[in-house]
C-alpha cells in the first residue's frame, strides 16, 4: 500500500492566538488569581458561618445573642450597607472584639467539627486550625481583613497573618492588626519576616522566654526511598550560629583549605561532596565534625587533584596493563584505595577563622543596648535581630556585650534600620556599609526571590567608574543593593535591568518583555517601635 506524503496546514485557533501574547497571558493569570483570592475569602467566611452555626447547636445554653454579635463583627461592612471604616473606628471596638475572640477560642476545642472536616475532605485538626485562623482574622483583625477584601493584599498573606494571630493572646490583636496594616513589602518572604518582627515587639519577656523554651524540639519526617527530614527548632541565635559554622566548614572544604579543619599538612582534600552534603554530614558529627577523603601530597611535588597528571594527583596510581592499549583496572583501584584516606575533621575554634567563615550579624536597638529605654518595665524593651530574625532583648544585649570575635557590632539609625549614608572612593565595599545594606534589604532585591541578603552579592546599580571613581557609579548606600548570585549574573548579562528613584529609594526592575516590578526596603516593625520609643523620650 502506498502512503502519500501529506502537507498538514495548521489551522488558526483564535483561542491560542489570543493567548499568544505574554502580556495578555499575565493579565489573565493575575485576574484569575485575584478572583480565586476573593473566592477563598468568601469560602473562609462560609467556614466561619458553619462554625458559628455548629457552636449554637452544640451549646447547652442559648447563645443566639453572642453568635449574632460575632457575626456582625466578622461581616464585611459593605454587606451590611455601611461605608468602609478607618482604623480609629476599629480601635473603638477593640475591647468588644477581644472579648468576642476569647469567647470563640473557648469553643473551638469543644465544638464538633467532624461535619466540616467531611465536607472539606480533610482532618478535624486541620479544620480546627482553619477555624481558629478565621476567628482571629475576621473578628480580631478588621483592618487587615478589609485590605484582603479590597484586594490590597493576597489571600496567602492574609491567611499567614491570621494564622500567626491565632497564636497571640486576645489583648495583642488590636496592635497586631494595626501593625499588619502598615507592613509594606515586595514579596511573601519579606512579609513573613516582618510579621515575626512585629510579633516580637508585642509579646512580653515572660512570653518570649516561655515560647522559646517550650518550642525547642527536633522533629523527624520520613519520606520514601530512605530519606528523612530533620527539623531543629530553638533560639534564633543558636540556630544561626550553628548554620554559620556548618557553612564555614563546608566552604573551607570546597576551597581546599584543610589545615584549619585538622587535615594533616601532608594531605590535600579530594572530597567530592557539595555544600549541602558537607553541611549535613558535619551536623550529624555533632561538633560539627566529620570525615573527609584526602590523599598524601609529595613533599617535593605540587599537590594534585583527581585527574591531574602531576605527581601529586591520583593519575600516579594508574597501572598500565600488559597490553599497552589498556589499563589494569583491578591493580589501579587497589592502589587508589591504598592512597586515599578518611581524615577526621572538626569545626575550628580559632577566632579569626570564625570571624571570616562563620560570622552572624546581631542588630540591637540603641536603647535596648544601653538598657535605658524602659525604666522599670523590662517587657517594653525592643527586641534585637540575628540575621534579620528577632531575638529577645536580653539575649541580643548579652551577645553583643561578650566581645566575641564572631560578633560585629554596628549602631544603626532607628528610623530605617540602616547606617548613615556615605560614599566610598574605591570599588571595595566597607564592612560597615555591607552589613547596613544587608540589614536594610534583608533579601535579594528582585521581587519574588527569597534568598537571604546575608548570602547575597552586593551590586552597583550604576556601574562603578574604575577610571574616575568621582564620576558616576559610587560605592554608596544609595547605589548598592544585595542580589543573589543567580540574579546578579542575569543583571551582568543584561537580561535584567534596575534603576533607583533618588527621592524614594524605590527600585524599578525591567524584566524581559518590557515588564516592570517595584521593590522597596521591607518594613521593619522593630525599627519602627524603637523610633517611637526615641520619640517618646524626646517629647
Q: Which residue has the cell 494595626?
A: 178
CA distances for 181 relative to 6, 85, 158, 202, 257, angstroms: 64, 13, 11, 15, 49
Tell me how long the chain is: 539
Query: Other C-beta atoms within 10 Å of 182: how many?
Result: 13
> Which pLDDT does position 164 carry in this prediction?
94
pLDDT of residue 422: 44
Name 531's Cβ contacts closer than 8 Å, sequence gap at least 6.
414, 415
Q: Write out the three cell numbers for 539.
A: 517629647
**Of residues 525, 526, 521, the one with CA closest to residue 480:** 521
pLDDT in tens, the chain (539 residues): 344 444 444 444 444 445 567 888 888 898 999 999 999 999 999 999 999 998 888 888 898 999 999 999 998 877 666 665 665 667 778 899 999 999 998 888 777 888 888 888 988 889 999 999 999 999 999 999 999 999 999 999 999 999 999 988 899 999 999 999 889 887 888 899 899 889 988 887 677 777 777 778 888 776 766 677 888 888 877 888 888 888 888 989 998 888 888 888 888 898 889 998 998 888 876 556 667 888 877 654 444 333 343 444 566 677 676 665 577 777 777 777 777 777 777 777 666 666 666 666 777 777 777 765 544 455 667 888 777 778 778 777 776 665 554 455 555 555 544 444 444 445 567 777 888 788 888 889 998 888 888 888 999 998 877 666 666 678 888 889 999 998 999 899 988 999 998 888 889 999 887 788 888 888 888 877 877 777 777 66
Q: Do 411 and 421 form a contact (C-beta atoms < 8 A)?
A: no
Of 262, 282, 278, the closest CA to residue 349 belongs to 262
Say how far apart CA 362 and CA 353 lie, in whole Å: 18
State the pLDDT at residue 112. Answer: 82
The strands making up 384-386's β-sheet, listed across from edge to edge, are 362-363, 384-386, 389-391
Question: How many Cβ atoms from other residues are within 10 Å of residue 457's Cβ?
Answer: 13
* Structure confidence at residue 314 (pLDDT): 62
* pLDDT for res 304: 39
pLDDT at 358 (0 to 100)? 62
| CA gap 38, 40 in Å, rounded | 5
Say whether the peptide bond before residue 288 is cis (omega within 30 degrees of 0): yes
Are 139 and 165 in contact by the 8 Å Cβ rule? The answer is no
496-521 burial, b at 16+ Cβ within 10 Å, e below that, comes to: bebebeeeeeebebeeeeeeebebbb
* DSSP SS3 for 125: helix
- 396 sits in which H/E element: helix 393-401
- pLDDT for 380: 62
Cα torsion for 288, 292, 296, 299, to the nearest 10°?
A: -40
What are the extents of the domains in the chain?
22-182, 232-356, 423-519
Read off the pTM: 0.65
Sign of the dihedral through C-alpha 38, 40, 41, 46: positive
pLDDT number for residue 400 = 67
Q: How do 475-476 and 497-500 pair as beta strands?
A: unpaired
Amino acid at each position: 500500500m502506498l502512503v502519500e506524503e501529506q502537507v498538514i496546514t495548521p489551522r488558526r485557533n483564535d483561542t491560542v492566538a489570543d493567548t499568544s501574547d505574554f502580556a495578555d497571558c499575565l493579565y489573565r493569570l493575575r485576574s484569575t488569581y485575584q478572583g480565586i483570592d476573593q473566592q477563598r475569602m468568601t469560602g473562609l467566611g462560609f467556614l466561619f458561618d458553619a462554625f458559628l452555626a455548629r457552636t449554637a447547636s452544640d451549646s447547652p445554653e442559648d447563645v443566639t445573642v453572642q453568635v449574632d454579635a460575632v457575626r456582625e463583627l466578622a461581616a464585611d461592612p459593605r454587606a451590611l450597607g455601611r461605608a468602609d471604616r478607618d482604623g480609629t473606628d476599629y480601635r473603638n471596638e477593640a475591647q468588644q472584639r477581644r472579648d468576642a475572640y476569647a469567647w470563640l477560642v473557648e469553643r473551638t476545642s469543644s465544638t464538633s467539627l467532624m461535619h466540616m472536616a467531611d465536607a472539606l475532605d480533610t482532618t478535624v485538626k486541620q479544620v480546627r486550625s482553619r477555624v481558629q485562623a478565621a476567628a482571629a482574622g475576621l473578628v480580631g483583625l478588621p483592618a487587615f481583613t478589609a485590605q484582603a477584601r479590597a484586594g490590597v493584599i493576597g489571600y496567602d498573606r492574609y491567611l499567614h497573618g491570621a494564622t500567626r494571630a491565632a497564636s497571640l493572646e486576645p489583648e495583642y490583636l488590636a496592635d497586631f492588626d494595626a501593625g499588619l496594616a502598615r507592613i509594606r513589602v515586595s514579596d511573601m518572604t519579606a512579609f513573613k519576616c516582618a510579621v515575626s518582627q512585629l510579633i516580637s515587639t508585642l509579646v512580653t519577656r515572660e512570653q518570649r522566654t516561655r515560647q522559646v523554651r517550650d518550642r525547642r524540639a527536633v522533629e523527624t519526617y520520613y519520606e520514601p526511598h530512605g530519606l528523612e527530614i530533620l527539623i531543629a527548632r530553638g533560639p534564633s541565635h543558636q540556630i544561626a550560629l550553628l548554620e554559620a559554622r556548618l557553612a564555614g566548614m563546608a566552604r573551607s572544604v570546597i576551597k581546599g583549605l584543610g589545615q584549619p579543619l585538622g587535615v594533616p599538612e601532608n594531605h590535600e582534600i579530594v572530597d567530592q561532596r557539595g555544600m549541602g552534603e558537607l553541611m549535613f554530614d558535619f551536623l550529624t558529627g555533632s561538633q560539627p565534625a566529620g570525615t573527609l577523603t584526602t590523599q598524601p601530597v609529595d613533599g617535593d611535588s605540587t599537590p594534585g587533584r583527581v585527574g591531574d597528571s602531576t605527581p601529586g594527583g591520583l593519575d600516579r596510581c594508574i597501572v598500565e596493563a600488559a597490553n599497552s592499549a589498556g589499563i589494569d583496572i583491578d591493580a589501579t583501584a587497589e592502589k587508589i584505595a591504598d592512597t586515599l584516606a578518611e581524615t577526621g575533621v572538626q569545626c575550628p575554634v580559632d577566632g579569626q577563622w570564625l570571624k571570616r567563615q562563620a560570622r552572624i550579624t546581631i542588630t540591637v536597638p540603641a536603647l535596648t543596648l544601653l538598657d535605658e529605654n524602659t525604666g522599670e518595665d523590662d517587657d517594653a524593651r525592643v527586641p534585637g535581630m540575628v540575621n534579620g530574625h528577632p531575638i529577645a532583648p536580653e539575649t541580643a544585649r548579652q551577645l553583643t556585650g561578650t566581645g566575641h570575635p564572631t560578633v560585629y557590632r554596628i549602631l544603626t539609625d532607628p528610623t530605617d534600620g540602616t547606617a548613615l549614608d556615605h560614599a566610598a572612593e574605591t570599588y571595595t565595599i566597607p564592612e560597615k556599609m555591607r552589613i547596613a545594606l544587608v540589614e536594610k534589604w534583608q533579601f535579594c532585591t528582585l521581587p519574588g526571590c527569597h534568598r537571604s541578603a546575608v548570602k547575597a552579592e552586593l551590586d552597583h546599580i550604576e556601574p562603578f567608574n574604575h577610571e574616575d571613581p568621582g564620576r558616576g557609579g559610587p560605592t554608596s548606600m544609595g547605589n548598592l543593593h544585595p542580589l543573589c548570585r543567580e540574579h546578579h549574573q542575569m543583571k551582568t548579562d543584561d537580561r535584567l535591568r534596575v534603576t533607583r528613584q533618588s527621592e524614594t529609594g524605590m527600585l524599578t526592575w525591567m524584566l524581559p518583555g518590557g515588564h516592570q516590578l517595584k521593590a522597596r526596603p521591607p518594613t521593619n516593625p522593630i525599627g519602627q517601635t524603637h523610633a517611637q520609643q526615641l520619640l517618646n523620650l524626646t517629647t
